[in-house]
Amino acid sequence: MNCLVTGAAGFIGSHLCEELLNNGHRVVGIDAFTDNYDPAIKRHNLAGFASHPGFRLLESDLTFADCWQSVGAVDWLFHLAARPGVRTSWGDDFSVYCEHNILATQRLLEACLELQPQKIIFASSSSVYGNARRLPVKETSPVRPISPYGATKLAGEHLCRIYWTNHHLPICMLRYFTVYGPRQRPDMAFSRWIKALLDDEPIRLFGDGRQMRDFTFVSDAVRATILAAERGAPGDIYNIAGGAHVSVGDVLSLLAETTGRTPQVHREARQKGDARNTWADTSSARQALGFVPQVTLKEGLKAQFEAAVFHSSSKR
Ligand SMILES: NC(=O)c1ccc[n+]([C@@H]2O[C@H](COP(=O)([O-])OP(=O)(O)OC[C@H]3O[C@@H](n4cnc5c(N)ncnc54)[C@H](O)[C@@H]3O)[C@@H](O)[C@H]2O)c1
């Protein structure tokens, strides 16, 4: 397949490109190397496959829509480019979220009217649910984001549905639940905690530690994403989660057990926009896509920790 991956240099996008190339597909990656974190980290994310003969990188910002002539034929389009992160979506930065999550998505959908991919996959988020009253959440549960970020991801979903119903663009939407693993964004909890452990610094824990999350190892998220391209029904939404539904405090204990290091914990107030609990019903993804997560939280944490140790020792 000819694949187009937006957000190719990001955490999940870089793993997706790698897996598509491993499966023998051709990949064009688009990334604007935005500054939500150090762009040098994003360049490093590409290092393992940048020179693969099946890969081509277009450094371009989707909001300017100036790259479509160079893309070529597209069979599967994976739209992962976005400004992620709940906590920084308040205040002045909200305009950046609107640009990268809403405007960029609309521009991409317009381009798809010409490109005519066989399947488009939109990376949405569990944050569209907000503080769900009933857990686990199904795709039919009410969507009531509690952060500006969640509102922009929901707007992206609405745009996808609008282009599906009006223009028959074959789009599936995936609601990822907290993805972790090697190359996780530096602003995300596991990355921050592992860095603190390695630097012998206290771990900053927001809230009381009893908030529950449904954690998804990145290879499981990537497999679900490719399955959605192969088998997903256009117009449908799927929850994608790892099934490891545990409290954040329990993750800290597991991290201590896995790494043999006891963290000092510095508790801070719960951050505005953070959902109290997330927990996905993934029966739709299992039935329609054949998606069953394979990596346990313990295995996944170990893999992320070992990758961070390797990275920090190779920098020295
Ligand atoms: N990581 C998670 O736990 C998680 C959970 C739910 C949803 N998501 C969604 O998955 C996707 C990927 O998230 P991630 O954690 O890999 O984030 P990331 O920040 O690592 O990757 C996003 C990439 O998109 C690029 N980008 C942003 N705006 C762009 C634009 N206008 N044009 C071109 N490139 C642009 C960035 O430079 C970055 O490399 C996002 O859509 C995010 O909302 C992630």
User: Cα separation of 17 and 50, whole Å?
Assistant: 10
Give the catalytic positions in this structure. 149
CA of 157 to the centre of ligand 1 (A): 15
Determine whether the shortest distance from the Cβ of 7 to ligand 1 is under 6 A.
yes
Q: Which domains does the chain have, with CATH numbers?
A: 2-184+218-241+279-294 (3.40.50.720)
Determine whether the shortest distance from the Cβ of 274 to ligand 1 is under 6 A.
no
Predicted local distance difference test score (pLDDT) of residue 314: 78
Give the position, in ligand 1's atom list, of the atom nearest the Cα of 104: 31
User: 10-residue block means of pLDDT along the chain (316 residues)?
Assistant: 98 98 98 97 97 98 90 97 96 97 98 97 98 96 98 98 98 98 97 94 90 96 98 98 92 91 89 92 98 97 95 77
Predicted local distance difference test score (pLDDT) of residue 66: 81
CA of 142 to the centre of ligand 1 (A): 24
Determine whether the shortest distance from the Cβ of 11 to ligand 1 is under 6 A.
yes
What predicted TM-score, i.e. pTM, was given to this entire model? 0.98
Q: How many CA atoms, within 13 angstroms, populate the side-chain half-sphere of residue 212?
A: 13
Query: Can you give the chain as a three-state secondary structure string?
Result: CEEEEECCCCHHHHHHHHHHHHCCCEEEEEECCCCCCCHHHHHHHHCCCCCCCCEEEEECCCCCCCCHHHCCCCCEEEECCCCCCCHHHCHHHHHHHHHHHHHHHHHHHHHHHHHCCCEEEEEEEHHHCCCCCCCCECCCCCCCCCCHHHHHHHHHHHHHHHHHHHHCCCEEEEEECCEECCCCCCCCHHHHHHHHHHCCCCEEEECCCCCEEEEEEHHHHHHHHHHHHHHCCCCCEEEECCCEEEEHHHHHHHHHHHHCCCCCEEEECCCCCCCCECCECCHHHHHHHCCCCCCCHHHHHHHHHHHHHHHHHHHC
CA of 264 to the centre of ligand 1 (A): 30
Determine whether the shortest distance from the Cβ of 13 to ligand 1 is under 6 A.
yes
Predicted local distance difference test score (pLDDT) of residue 316: 67
